[in-house]
Structure 1
């Protein structure tokens, strides 16, 4: 092959090489994929079973102690975690469908089946590490991973932002927040921010005296 022909061949080959590299190079990852595998907490796990079996969980499901589920104070429902028992190296995958535990220093409440999987039935508690596998109904962020609950008064919910804004304009001190649940965008009208449900209920009682209805809501739900 002559030098001239080689140069022509080389320059014709460059676009093909670039196209190939772009197609098999770095793939863009979604925000959820980028978070997957992150350690998002560590502490003491407990478990709950027969006394709650068949009752409703915080997200409206029926609690099944034989399913691989768990309760967390603030993580979005349907978040999937890997729970590592750091005392024995055993792990279990669970889905968040309930709220709790409400005992100091405990970060997660496992179903009986999940607790069996990591051998903590006998001890009742274990030191664990939580790894995020998949986000649930909402993105996992600094606020809802913290286990520090926050409360508000929800006054209304609309599919239209303009309708939500119109309602909020009628109530001094209220605000509109956009939430996405199961790929559906909703505009909620909230009033106030509180560190416990009692404070939120007191605010709601005052609103009711003015003829404004609503209900106390944990922000993370």
Structure 2
């Protein structure tokens, strides 16, 4: 009987040790994770994320099950050799063994928009590297511009607002090559990559323009 109790006790101790010693992705020193990624888009655009922010399908953000909000990660799609740097601001994905849900803009940059799910590598970026990047001088903001007359500009603005009611819009009169033109300026993006990703979405609707510095 004593031997049986010892065996049971030993089994419990081993089980507890194994269970406690298995680190999660967020707690371990291993900053790389490989697995399936998916993306989410228009259906969730404008909704609150788990962090309290509004989800914007055009921004470089992602959902992860355990990483703290604000964590910056580099996501690479080996099939396309494309990478993006994303900020974690939501929880998920909760389907199968997927490890990350990226925004629609990020999915386009990674070359996985049409396939829906792809195998990726997720790397947590060092805080020092992120801090250094944030300390560097910010580049100019970018916008998507389309030349038009006033009637066309009003119609284009209406269609753009119907496409994305959160999209900042401006109709400006400027001199281009010595002549006066009306420009519709859509969005204000932190990088050219974000602007181009959104312009790709607009192209599907016949609303694309030219990415330019704001």
Same fold (TM over 0.5): no
| TM-score, normalised by the number of residues in structure 1 | 0.43
Of Structure 1 and Structure 2, which has the larger fraction of its residues in helix? 2
Larger Rg: 1
